[in-house]
Amino acid sequence: MKISTRTRYGLRLLIYLAGSEADRLVQVKEIAKHENIPAKYLEQIIRPLKKAGMLKVVRGAKGGYFMERAPESISVKEVFDVLENSTHLIDCLKDGNFCEGKESCSTFDFWDNFNKVINDYLEGVTLADILKMQREKCKKLMFYI
Amino acid sequence: MKISTRTRYGLRLLIYLAGSEADRLVQVKEIAKHENIPAKYLEQIIRPLKKAGMLKVVRGAKGGYFMERAPESISVKEVFDVLENSTHLIDCLKDGNFCEGKESCSTFDFWDNFNKVINDYLEGVTLADILKMQREKCKKLMFYI
DNA sequence: GCTAATATATACTGATTTTATCTATAAGCA
DNA sequence: TGCTTATAGATAAAATCAGTATATATTAGC
């Protein structure tokens, strides 16, 4: 039960973008450098996020990305749905998935419930929440230094 | 974020065993047949569960497995710890794991919290709970038929 | 038209998971 | 004792997937 690097990178990328000045165009290269992530991999990750309408792009020279929606309105669940290739803990939970045992399977209801617990949590956390956590942590750090 | 087949099989195997008469020796072959799981794979799964003290074995002819501990006392979290090779959502959460970014990483606290939510849930569900759910489902099914 | 940026597809590599195979060991039983 | 039925354990094979890299196309600024 691991979170893919794809989703982890994607979340950091979003937090970085959400934390930048609102009117600035941020290039993949810059994020890659700051977050220490392979740039080409980031490009593959950022595109589905754009397609999902979370951010927008200006192509060509001096171009870059910027947030389209407010960080308060984007839940981590949404990010998972876009990036994590299997949002479902087990295949049986997929909509319309055929599973002969569903009705008799001893563990189906448990997995179903577990899945709900996870999704409820992820729906309850927004990018803004994470940004806030991060900023508070920074303040504390500065205080110690 | 997928649950490994190993853990899923293991849980079903435990539920099957916990649901059998207490004094009966159950053979891997029987579980494999009933649950439609490759027998040799089950053997690999059942051993660590035995090592963890959840069940015991009588070797040789007419041998088999039986539950050592009460299903009420075994949480799903324990099963995960034994079977799921990565209990941590991300490597950074491992004890003693070195991560340069830990203090400054924008998402570390979020993952840490998410991990806790999951573990709390898994600790709160026991094999007996799942067994009960299953039996109630059976009753309902019988009612409709 | 040159340069800087993203868009897209694809291929390579390595790790991991699932399954299968083979041999060893233990215990019941004639 | 020797045959049979179990698990024990190591290891190999197959399949899948994640992560990365490469190559080419497209878009826009200057």
For residue range B99-142, what is the model confidence (pLDDT) as tens digits?
Answer: 666 667 889 999 999 999 999 999 999 999 999 999 988 787 77
pLDDT given for residue A33 in this prediction: 92
Distance A6 CA to D16 C1' (A): 17
| B95, amino acid identity | D
Query: Rounded to a whole number, what is the distance in Å from the CA of B124 to chain A's nearest CA?
Result: 11
Tell me the DSSP string of A31-95. Answer: HHHHHT--HHHHHHHHHHHHHTTSEEEE-STT-EEEESS-GGG-BHHHHHHHH-S--SSSGGGST
Chain B interface includes A145 (CB < 8 A): no
Indicate the CATH number of B5-144 among 3.30.1060.10, 1.10.1660.10, 1.10.10.10, 3.30.830.10: 1.10.10.10
pLDDT digits (tens, 9 = 90+) for A18-61: 999 988 999 999 999 999 999 999 999 999 999 999 999 999 99
The 10 Å CB-count burial string (b at 16+, else e) for B53-90 is ebbeeeeeeeebbbbeeebeebbbbbbbebbbeebbbb
B125 shares contact with chain A (CB less than 8 Å): yes
More confident site: A138 or B29: B29
Q: Which residues of A touch B6 (CB under 8 A)?
A: none
Task: Decide if B142 touches A, using CB distance below 8 A.
Answer: no
What global pTM score does this model have? 0.90
